[in-house]
Chains A and B, each alone.
Chain A
Amino acid sequence: EAGVVQSPRYKIIEKKQPVAFWCNPISGHNTLYWYRQNLGQGPELLIRYENEEAVDDSQLPKDRFSAERLKGVDSTLKIQPAELGDSAVYLCASSLFGTGKETQYFGPGTRLLVL
């Protein structure tokens, strides 16, 4: 069974530039999560989707971050414009449901460096 796929794996951009990350969850998983992991910290939830609907985006900096999950499968997370403090690993995860009482399967992440 294929796991969660993310691309690109690494991205280096200059500040004020836009950047986008793509995620393909495990087939059949209706819940998709985007996390951000800063250096030396644990992952922090940015947004959670159930199918196409964003059901928790309270931690998403909406002035510069946007996300979409078209057709309830793949998802894209965008930052525009990027700031130095956005340097982090962006992790995508998926699960069958969104109860928090089940395993969330993580992709390998996209490591973003903003110069």
Chain B
Amino acid sequence: DQQVKQNSPSLSVQEGRISILNCDYTNSMFDYFLWYKKYPAEGPTFLISISSIKDKNEDGRFTVFLNKSAKHLSLHIVPSQPGDSAVYFCAASGSSNTGKLIFGQGTTLQVKP
């Protein structure tokens, strides 16, 4: 049972345009969401997070939107840069504060110069 799903395995965008990566979840007990970025042969690195009490969080070129009623979140990158090419994972944690993150399958983003 995949509680966090990223249905698009890959995405290709032109440099300077917007990249939108999507993530859906099924567990209504999730109350904190994170995005991680992963380059080849490296571990995932934290990008941005959002609490369920918010519907938007912004950090520079990166914005995460949360739609709790739809159990959907998205990551917007504007403008996209070639260095953003990586695998992006969304992750969720629950209100029980167990520290356990549930990851999606990842979306490979390619930003073309």
How far, in Å, is A26 (CB) from chain B's closest CB? 12
Number of interface residues of B (CB under 8 A): 26
Contacts of B62 in A (CB 8 A): none
Q: B68-82: which residues lie under 8 A (CB-CB) from chain A? A: none
Residue with the greatest number of chain A CB neighbours at <10 A, chosen from B32, B36, B43: B43
Given A42-B105, A45-B100, A100-B99, A106 and B93 contact (CB-CB distance below 8 Å): no
Contacts of B25 in A (CB 8 A): none
> For the complex, is A14 an interface residue (Cβ under 8 Å from B)?
no
A106 to B37, CA, bound (A): 11
> For the complex, is A80 an interface residue (Cβ under 8 Å from B)?
no
A44 touches B99 (CB 8 A): no
A11 to B41, CA, bound (A): 14
> For the complex, is A25 an interface residue (Cβ under 8 Å from B)?
no
A93 touches B105 (CB 8 A): no
How far, in Å, is A98 (CB) from chain B's closest CB? 3
Q: A24-42: which residues lie under 8 A (CB-CB) from chain B? A: 31, 33, 40-42
How far, in Å, is A110 (CB) from chain B's closest CB? 10
A74 to B105, CA, bound (A): 28
B89 touches A42 (CB 8 A): yes
Interface string of B77-113 (1 = CB under 8 A from A): 0000000000001010110011111011110000000
A100 touches B104 (CB 8 A): no
Given A42-B105, A42-B106, A100-B32, A56 and B43 contact (CB-CB distance below 8 Å): no
Contacts of A44 in B (CB 8 A): 103
B99 touches A48 (CB 8 A): yes
A91 to B43, CA, bound (A): 7
Contacts of B106 in A (CB 8 A): 40-42
Contacts of B4 in A (CB 8 A): 42
List the 5 closest A-B pairs by CB distance, nearest first: A42-B103, A100-B93, A106-B43, A98-B99, A103-B46
